[in-house]
Amino acid sequence: MIAMLQPRHGALPPELQVEQRRLRGGLEAAAVSRVIIRYQDPAGRQRAMSFVVKRLAGTAAREARVYRHLVTAHVPAMAPRVLASHETSQGGAVLYLEFLRPISAWPWRALATARAVLEQVARLHAVRPGRSAIAALSAWDYERELRRNAELTLTRLEQVVQRREFSGVAVAMPPARRLVRSLAEMRRQLLAFVPLGSTPIHGDLHPGNALVRRRGGRDEPVLIDWGRARIGSPLEDISTWLQSLAGWEPEARRRHDSLLTDYLTARGMDGQLLPELRATYWFAGASNALGGALLYHLTVLLDRQATSTRKRNAAYSTREWLRVLRRADAFWG
């Protein structure tokens, strides 16, 4: 670990105090830790440096290539800096990332901050990646995983509605079944939608994967956990961001259309929310729900070991994502 950082920090003394703190990482990561190294410099002054170590296994190792060929090459300011990286003998990878200290645990009450994330993502969506970036983004067969997760989501939903306390969500079963049957055609329409088309996307854009730091006298949003980055519809990022934010921030819910218009303006569009755009937006939301977002919360509801707080939050989020499915079904019909 220390040897990987020597090129950036220079020779370090042999007497080091190393502390590791486990962090909550993305679903794609095997382990994420913050490492703090304390030492004494040649002048006798106490020094410390801190960074994040992210260990990736299996298919998740593609995140290291995403950082190298997309993030670092095209949008370095919107993600933590990569201090070092290497591949393991087992086909995995280790990322050494800049540790970011956010200005607040929940900065999204200010709509200007939520809007700044949309402006950052608009820059990502405007990137024209080279061959190496396209190869890194295409190394994961997302469509195959989406189909598998959609079927599993239906199974979990059927299990949940059999419970008396959740019987009220049974009304969402017919829309969910229709959307799963139509998923392939809906995806074709989504990915071909003009003028947005398909671009590099973050793929998991929710408040847990965005933070705001202070740099250069201004607040700057930064995106973390790029393990689900891929080529997809920009509306997949935007719908995930707006829907997940609106679920917990009332003002974001009230200003939903205004925020969506802000994104379109940042992309150089006229910002009109025409019916075809609205329909495609909700198709993107349904894709996100069936791709894993709803499945996660349904799994928590069925977990006998989950705390009451986790289950309460999961029940709320489940109803929010089922609302997205009903809206998408209405437009599809």
Per-residue model confidence (pLDDT) at position 54: 94
pLDDT tens-place string over residues 4-44: 555 455 566 667 888 999 987 555 546 899 999 898 887 88
Same CATH fold, 107-332 and 2-98? no
- CA gap 287, 189 in Å, rounded: 12
pLDDT tens-place string over residues 278-314: 999 999 999 999 999 999 999 999 999 999 999 999 9
- Binning pLDDT at 50, 70 and 90, where does residue 217 land? confident
For the purposes of burial, counting CB atoms within 10 Å of the CB of 57, is it exposed (0-12), middle (13-18) or buried (19 or more)?
A: middle
The proportion of the chain whose per-residue pLDDT surpasses 90, expressed as a percent, equals 80
Estimate the crossing angle of helix 256-266 against helix 234-246, to 10 degrees: 150
Residue found under tokens 């495609």:
280
Residues in a beta bridge with 19: 36
Per-residue tokens: 247: 């679920």
Per-residue tokens: 193: 């939608």
Q: Count other C-beta atoms under 10 Å from residue 306's C-beta.
A: 15
Fold of 107-332: Aminoglycoside 3'-phosphotransferase; Chain: A, domain 2 (3.90.1200)
Q: Which residues contact 242 (CB under 8 A, 6 or more apart)?
A: 252, 256, 259, 260
Per-residue model confidence (pLDDT) at position 91: 87
Q: C-alpha angle 310/57/152, rounded to 5°?
A: 50
Handedness of CA 6, 9, 12, 15 (dihedral sign): negative
Q: Give me the torsion for CA of 186, 255, 115, 197, rounded to 10°.
A: 20
The proportion of the chain whose per-residue pLDDT surpasses 70, expressed as a percent, equals 94
Yes or no: is domain 2-98 CATH 3.30.200?
yes
Q: For the chain, what are the domain ranges? A: 2-98, 107-332
Average of pLDDT values for 92-109? 94
Say if residue 326's pLDDT is above 90.
Answer: yes
